[in-house]
Structure 1
């Protein structure tokens, strides 16, 4: 295996110094945070080509955009790339990223749920309003997703947008991502005056959002794919819950052989950061 340049690898293992003293409280209030300089442009440049090549290799969506449904037009989706490529694994397992997740959640340690590459092609459509935790059979809300763009993401490429404070809104939690979730949540969130926060992302920026934070994204009007890597982190002491829908039953596969009420301490769900071990 070819050795990686020294700087990006070290960066992944060092602490991020951009969290303010109120970051955890702000995250709890808003349900999300947009952080600058989470990774350097050099680190992004080191990992993006490998992630992109793996997405191309593993993608199973081959229909033309015009023949896909709304979900299919939203993005190409490839999950658990860390199991396919050692270099991608180094990024997914980065203590720097997991440490931010633990700090924002206010927990000592976090473990991996799974990763996802989400690539919105040029001409790709909207990502409908939804909350990720609809899909997760987990016992608490101590879980979040990092949304890490692998290029500068101006507004015309469809950056992720969040409804500020919507993680405290229970309406719509029974809706999978769909045309129905887009229509019903757009109306309900507007009626409740939740601010729709959409901002461009500079190279190296990342967004973190809670499992119940409602979010969406616009279409990609750019000429290049909107390339994004995501990682889902959960409190290391979280327990598996009884599924409440078909999608949660399917998602039990990300925590194999773990019964409801048990901590998902499996080879697929390693602890990625434990502040008590420092």
Structure 2
């Protein structure tokens, strides 16, 4: 695994809100990730998320909605699959996120497998952090290509620098590709940047960066594994997102999100604070 981050990559990330890293995984590591994610997704069946070992049927099952035809989404696989847990809770990845974001440390927010089926719909422009239970300009996600991601099968697209203009207003992913532009009309004139990746490459993007993905116009699958990271010390904003009812009840707005069972510290510059 190539986990070294250069100053040039940090600068590019800070300026553009994203960076693509080729040759992140070796061919052998890629097969390990594919096998682990495939096994974990199969084990979930139609369940998108298991909350503390129970299934929240109301919020987290496939229901045949438009959203389910964008991609197969399975969250927090690390919590119920040991192989995925070993991969996601790797302090080397946490260090990469910490260095790019220029923070002191990172907790895992949630992982998610994002799998575009053959002929899957496009993923509309959106930004991530407004959906989560904390707000931070330094929230960051890794996106790992498990298959070649191309302009034909649903690679990512970014609006470079948009993370410096967006707010925490939540614009849901919808059927209209450009719904986000109603909130940010200046984005209409921006040039999008395609980010095709070979299998085994990865990208990091800021939680406030506008991004999307094209439709899968092929008969093949486009698999990706992602993980969102929460800067150490982040506080609860009142949004439930992937938290259980019990966890939400235990937090007041402004409380530090510090439950290591839900959000382990995957890396910190003070090694004594790492909990994985």
Report TM bin, short chain. 0.7 to 0.9
Q: Which residue of 2 aligns with 1:5?
A: none
- From 218, 221, 228, the counterpart of 1:222: 218
Q: Quickly say closer, same or farther: Cα 1:160–1:269, change in 2 above 3 A.
A: same
Residue 172 of structure 1 deviates from its aligned partner by 8.7
Is the 1:114–1:254 Cα contact (8 Å) retained in structure 2?
Answer: no
Change (3 A) 1:128 1:20: same
Q: CA deviation at 1:277?
A: 1.9
Query: 1:171 Cα deviation (Å)?
Result: 6.9
Aligned to 1:3: none
Pair 1:48 & 2:37 matched: no
Quote the offset at 1:151 in angstroms: 1.6
Aligned residue for 1:213, secondary structure, equals coil
SS of 1:97's partner is helix
- Compare 119-128 and 251-260 and name the one that shifted more: 251-260
Q: Alpha-carbon deviation of 1:254?
A: 9.4
CA RMSD of aligned residues (A): 2.5
Contact 1:134–1:176, Cα closer than 8 Å, also in 2: no
TM superposition shift of 1:252: 4.0
The alpha-carbon deviation at position 150 of structure 1 amounts to 0.8
The answer for the alignment partner of 1:185 in structure 2 is 180
Unmatched segments (≥5 aa) in structure 2: 48-62
The answer to whether 1:276 aligns with 2:270 is yes
More helix by share: 1
- Kept in 1: contact 2:139–2:206 (CA 8 A): yes
Q: Are the structure 2 counterparts of residues 164 and 255 from structure 1 closer, same or farther at C-alpha, using a change threshold of 3 Å?
A: farther
Match of 2:240 among 229, 245, 249: 249
Match of 1:260 among 250, 253, 258: 253
The answer for the alignment partner of 1:130 in structure 2 is 126
For residues 152-231 of structure 1, the aligned pairs below 5 Å read: 152-170=148-166, 173-180=169-176, 182-185=177-180, 188=184, 193-231=189-227
Q: Matched residues in 1 for 2:158 and 2:206: separation? A: 10
Q: Which residue does 1:39 correspond to in 2?
A: 25
In the alignment, structure 1 segments of 5+ residues that lack a partner are: 1-10, 62-66
* Change beyond 3 A, Cα 1:222–1:207: same
TM (norm. structure 1) is 0.83
Pairing partner for 1:57 from 37, 43, 52: 43
In structure 1, the partner of 2:58 is none
Separation in 2 of the partners of 1:254 and 1:231?
22
Distance 1:270 1:35 in 2: 25
TM-score (norm 2): 0.83
Whole-angstrom distance in 2 between the partners of 1:164 and 1:88: 31
Distance 2:100 2:265 in 1: 16
- State how far apart, in whole Å, the 2-side matches of 1:139 and 1:255 are: 21
Q: Distance in 1 between matches of 2:98 and 2:179?
A: 32
* Contact 2:233/2:258 (<8 A) preserved: no
